[in-house]
Amino acid sequence: MGRGPGVAVERLFSSSRHVCADTRCSLKAETITELMLVKEWIRQGLLRIERPNPSK
Residue type at position 24: R
Q: What is the pLDDT of residue 46?
A: 93
- In order of 2, 12, 24, 48, 50, the CA distances from 53 in angstroms are 40, 31, 29, 15, 9
- State pLDDT tens for residues 9-48: 677 667 666 667 666 567 888 888 888 888 889 889 998 8
Alpha-carbon distance of 8 to 33, in angstroms, equals 16
Residues written for the chain: 56
Res 7 pLDDT > 80? no
pLDDT of residue 39: 86
pTM above 0.75, yes or no: no
Contact 16, 9 (CB under 8 A): no
Contact partners, residue 41, CB within 8 Å, separation at least 6: 47
Provide the residue ranges of all domains of the chain, joining segments of one domain with +.
5-43
